[in-house]
């Protein structure tokens, strides 16, 4: 399949997952709201989720996929299967040890991560309990990412991309039960939601294990031993822990700081979920598809094809992320209101969440650029350079967050996350450029410039249309009326933007559709 078609497949399933995720978050906002129980749950869920992104999706995929592709291309299927067995056996042992230690020492582990909760012992104890329930989710997701890495290395993306849908479905089933049988106890509701998360993790793992078995590449557990391949994997994986999960690290830093203000974690969570929607569909999907594509080209010595793949990934990413960013920035308040403002989520929560969303939205292109540029390093088995740049980004994020939080509260944290992302993206691009691994021709630069202008013009048009539809979007309007107005704004904005893109020649829609249908014989 071509890069575009693989991207479409992964993006479509990611979109399905995010739709179910929004339904989950809408129900969660109504059940948990933004009170102490909600803060405790989001802090508890973010803790294993951070380590999942770092140790599983970040470290494992970025270190494993290039090695797996190299073994598959140069040594054959038997050697690649043996490599997967040796590395995944190490991962299983590591996860068992980490999970047992975390469950025993969770009360002490959480102290530096939610320092603001210590003043409220009941809230802190609930957070500890919820984290203990959620933490085995890390093991399920880490193994899911490992088996998903095998599938991605084989060019099979669908099962791993569909698996997150099952997590959302499991959580929705639990939330539906809580809506019907309201306990009246937010703490009990939060416990049930945590149990739903754990159940979703088990179902996700089952799906990818089944998919790997069908390929014949199912690794069997073997008592771990150190050999040159395993040593090389860990040398690549340890730096990738920081580089691959930089966005999550910055968000988690924000969570620590935000724990000192009431409801700040909840506001950041809901805003984060909204900008993560396009980030998942665009940036993460591109990263998942681009890394094995680059690795295969480079292992066969096809440097020109690798460069072309990265340029194509950059174009499709900016083509989609820039209008998404400007639309979220302009429509933050109505989007939050339509999706979340009901039940325990009131108008105050809407205004606070929308303010954070505006700040996050302007960083969306940077978050996507990081996902586009990092595979250029990882595919060449260089995880150290992105790690150093990620560390710089984290330091910048912490400094700006601490400086702005006393004045702007949670919005200052969102601004810091955005600024640090842009700094990281520019540094990645500059080093790839200097090494000759990435070049942007004058023609491509012109196309990107027109994309920026088209997104800006679309934002102006959407803002004007939103002004006309203001009575429909007013808080007192019925939900269906507000939802219809929002759909009109989104549809109108898309028509304007893609019309500009088509008629300026940046990307003819007929050419784009043909690329999405085309199979790539060169990669076979």
Check whether 412 has a pLDDT greater than 80: yes
Task: State the chain's mean pLDDT as an integer.
Answer: 81
Q: Is the pTM of the predicted complex or chain greater than 0.85?
A: no
H helix intervals, 181-258: 186-215, 228-243, 246-258
In b/e form, how buried is each residue of 289-324, taking b as 16+ CB within 10 angstroms? bbbbbbbbbbbeebeebbbebbbbbbbbbbbbbbbb
**Of residues 280, 293, 315, 358, the one with CA closest to residue 447:** 315
Q: How many other CB atoms are there within 10 angstroms of residue 421's CB atom?
A: 26
Torsion of CA 135, 205, 281, 438, to 10 degrees: 90
Helical axes 36-51 vs 3-32, angle rounded to 10°: 150
Q: Write out pLDDT tens, residues 505-515.
A: 877 766 666 65
What is the number of structural domains in the chain?
1
Structure confidence at residue 283 (pLDDT)? 66
Quote the CA–CA distance of 466 and 477 in Å, as a whole number.
14
pLDDT score for 248: 62
Cα(522)–Cα(520) distance, integer angstroms: 5
Tell me which residue range forms the domain holding 172. 3-523
Distance CA 216, CA 72 (A): 14
> Average pLDDT of 34-63?
71
Under the banding of pLDDT at 50, 70 and 90, the label for residue 151 is confident
Average pLDDT over residues 139-147: 84
The total of other beta-carbon atoms located within 10 Å of residue 99's CB is: 17
Could you read off the pLDDT of 345-359 as tens digits, one per residue? 888 888 999 999 999
pLDDT tens readout for residues 264-273:
878 888 888 7
CA angle 225, 230, 235 (to 5 degrees): 130
Q: How far apart are CA 424 and CA 422, in angstroms?
A: 5
Residue 372 burial by Cβ neighbours in a 10 Å radius (0-12, 13-18, 19+): buried
Which of 152-156, 479-483, 500-504: highest mean pLDDT? 500-504
* Cα-to-chain-centroid distance, residue 488: 27
Question: What is the residue whose two structure tokens read 């219809």?
Answer: 484
What was the pLDDT predicted at 1?
43
Q: What is the pLDDT of residues 109-130, one digit of tens each?
A: 888 878 878 888 888 999 999 9
Q: Dihedral sign for Cα 488, 491, 495, 498, please.
A: positive
Burial class of residue 61 in the structure, from the number of CB atoms within 10 Å of its CB (0-12 exposed, 13-18 middle, 19+ buried) = buried
* Chain centre distance of CA 389: 19
- On the CB side of 153, CA atoms within 13 Å amount to 31
First to last CA, the chain: 8
What span, in angstroms and rounded, lies between the C-alpha atoms of 89 and 370? 30
430: which residues sit within 8 A by CB, 6+ positions away?
Answer: none
Contacts (Cβ under 8 Å, ≥6 apart) of 431 = 385, 389
Torsion of CA 360, 175, 14, 351, to 10 degrees: -20
Per-residue pLDDT, 334: 87
Dist CA 420 CA 246 (whole Å): 10
pLDDT value at residue 453: 94
């Amino acid at each position: 399949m071509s890069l575009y078609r693989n991207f479409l497949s992964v993006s479509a399933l990611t979109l399905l997952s995010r739709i179910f995720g929004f339904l989950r978050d809408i129900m969660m906002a109504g059940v948990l709201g933004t009170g102490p129980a909600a803060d405790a749950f989001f802090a508890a869920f973010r803790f294993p989720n951070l380590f999942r992104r770092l140790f599983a999706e970040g470290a494992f995929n970025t270190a494993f996929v290039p090695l797996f592709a190299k073994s598959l291309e140069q040594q054959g299927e038997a050697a690649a299967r043996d490599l997967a067995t040796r590395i995944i056996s190490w991962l299983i042992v590591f996860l068992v040890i980490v999970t047992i230690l975390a469950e025993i020492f969770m009360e002490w582990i959480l102290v530096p991560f939610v320092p603001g909760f210590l003043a409220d012992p009941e809230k802190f104890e609930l957070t500890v309990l919820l984290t203990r329930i959620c933490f085995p989710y890390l093991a399920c997701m880490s193994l899911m990412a490992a088996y998903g890495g095998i599938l991605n290395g084989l060019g099979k993306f669908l099962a791993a991309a569909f698996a997150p849908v099952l997590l959302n479905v499991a959580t929705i089933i639990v939330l539906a039960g809580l809506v019907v049988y309201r306990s009246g106890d937010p703490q009990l509701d939060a416990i049930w939601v945590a149990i739903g998360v754990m159940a979703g993790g088990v179902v996700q793992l089952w799906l990818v294990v089944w998919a790997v078995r069908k390929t014949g590449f199912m690794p069997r557990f073997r008592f771990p031993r150190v050999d040159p391949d395993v040593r090389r994997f860990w040398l690549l994986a340890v730096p990738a822990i920081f580089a691959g999960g930089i966005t999550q690290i910055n968000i988690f830093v924000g969570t620590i700081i935000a724990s000192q203000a009431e409801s700040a974690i909840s506001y950041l969570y809901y805003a984060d979920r909204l900008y993560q929607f396009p980030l998942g569909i665009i940036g993460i999907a591109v990263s998942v598809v681009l890394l094995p594509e680059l690795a295969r080209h480079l292992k066969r010595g096809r440097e020109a094809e690798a460069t072309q793949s990265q340029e194509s990934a950059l174009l499709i990413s900016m083509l989609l992320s820039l209008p998404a960013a400007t639309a979220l920035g302009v429509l933050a308040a109505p989007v939050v209101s339509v999706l979340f403002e009901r039940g325990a989520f009131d108008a105050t929560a809407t205004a606070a969440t929308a303010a954070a969303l505006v700040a996050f939205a302007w960083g969306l292109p940077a978050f996507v650029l990081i996902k586009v540029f990092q595979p250029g390093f990882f595919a060449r088995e260089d995880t150290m350079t992105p790690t150093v740049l990620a560390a710089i980004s984290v330091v910048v994020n912490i400094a700006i967050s601490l400086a702005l939080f006393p004045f702007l509260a949670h919005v200052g944290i969102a601004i810091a996350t955005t600024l640090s992302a842009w700094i990281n993206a520019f540094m990645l691009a500059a080093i790839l450029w200097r090494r000759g691994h990435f070049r942007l021709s004058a023609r491509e630069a012109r196309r990107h410039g027109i994309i920026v202008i088209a997104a800006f013009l679309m934002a102006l048009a959407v803002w004007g249309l939103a002004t006309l539809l203001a009575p429909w979007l007013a808080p007192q309007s019925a939900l269906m009326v507000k939802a219809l107005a929002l759909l009109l704004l989104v549809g109108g904005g898309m028509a304007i933007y893609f019309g500009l893109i088509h008629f300026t020649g940046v990307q003819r829609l007929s050419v784009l559709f043909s690329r999405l249908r085309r199979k790539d014989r060169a990669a076979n």
